[in-house]
Amino acid sequence: MTTPVISRALVTGAGRRVGCALATALAAPDRHVIVHYNASSEGAEQTAAEIRRLGGLADCVACDLGDSAAVEGLIPKLSAQFGPIDVLVNSAATFHNDAIDRLDRTVFDHQLDVNLKAPTFLSAAFARQAPDGSVIINVLDNKVAALDPGFLSYGLSKVAMEGLTKMLALALAPKIRVNGLAPGLTLISGKQTPDSFAAAKARAPLGRSSDLADLAEGLLFLIGAKATTGQILVIDGGRYLDGPLATSAYHPAGS
């Protein structure tokens, strides 16, 4: 006898790294996890296999979140195929290094398309089919609380996502709760070296930043926190308390 599915989650960017860890954290016998990917098809299959190994149900779906027509069609297609989705985790993002003195319009537009517009339109489509008690979790960055002008368009996309989280919390209540998960340095990105990464993490008040298990714990908390909406949970070892980064202390110039 199969266990009835009572929850269905879509996790974007779940074919690798943070998105993979978040999708895997959702593995449960009563949850169907839809593993979204763009280029990481093999990784997505591995994520889905791990979810199944842990007793959950999983399927994979491809979508380029820079393609607005594909974004519009994604949730209606999945909802028609599988049934209503009640958890949306917007984790996929691009992470390009730019600044006010080295802006590139193509990079800027693409970063905003993938990191901000896609989650916004996915949220709209999600809301049209979501049952009562549904949840949206937007993966932000501790850069929303410790501004970093060395990642200008990326940071702008995340600051806008913080605003979106709060606006949608108001717009979609009481049917849907909307919260943000803001990791600090978690995995090596860009041109960081293991040494510069470790040193940057150690600068946080707790002498550590987030790891994937911390993010999984935060995700599960926010999904279950029935009285919480419009909240941003920063998980970064307290680094955000130190305030803005003057010029990418975490990512020296060009990294």
Ligand X SMILES: NC(=O)c1ccc[n+]([C@@H]2O[C@H](COP(=O)([O-])OP(=O)(O)OC[C@H]3O[C@@H](n4cnc5c(N)ncnc54)[C@H](OP(=O)(O)O)[C@@H]3O)[C@@H](O)[C@H]2O)c1
Positions touching ligand X (CB under 6 A) are 13, 15-19, 37-40, 64-66, 91-95, 114, 139, 141, 183, 185-187, 189
- Kindly list the distances between the CA atom of residue 138 and the CA atoms of 10, 41, 157, 158, 183, in Å, as whole numbers in the listed order: 12, 22, 12, 9, 11
* Both structure tokens of 176: 């849907």
Q: How far is the CB of 24 from ligand X (least distance, A)?
A: 13
- Which C-beta is closer to ligand X: that of 56 or that of 184? 184
In the bound state with ligand X, the residue whose beta carbon lies nearer, of 5 and 203, is 203
Q: Find the shortest distance in angstroms from Cβ 66 to ligand X.
A: 4
Instruction: List Cα–Cα distances, 72 to 12, 25, 128, 163, 215, in angstroms.
Output: 14, 27, 12, 21, 28
Sheet with 176-183, side-by-side order of all strands: 57-62, 31-37, 7-11, 87-90, 134-139, 176-183, 232-235
How far is 34 from 210, CA to CA, in rounded Å? 25
* 199 in Cβ contact with 154 (< 8 Å): no
Pick between residue 189 and residue 255 the one whose CB is nearest to ligand X.
189
Q: How far is the CB of 175 from ligand X (least distance, A)?
A: 25
Of residues 130 and 151, the one with the C-beta less far from ligand X: 151
Nearest-approach distance from CB 199 to ligand X, in angstroms = 15
Smallest distance from ligand X to CB 40, Å:
3
Q: Tell me how far, at minimum, the Cβ of 168 lies from ligand X, in Å.
A: 17
Cα separation, 36 vs 43, in Å, equals 10
CB contact set of 125 (below 8 Å; sequence gap of 6+)? 72, 74, 75, 76
The CA angle 128-76-30, to the nearest 5 degrees, is 85
Which CB atom, from 5 or from 208, has the smaller least distance to ligand X?
A: 208
In whole angstroms, give the CA distance from residue 180 to residue 169. 10
Nearest CB to ligand X, comparing residues 173 and 241: 241
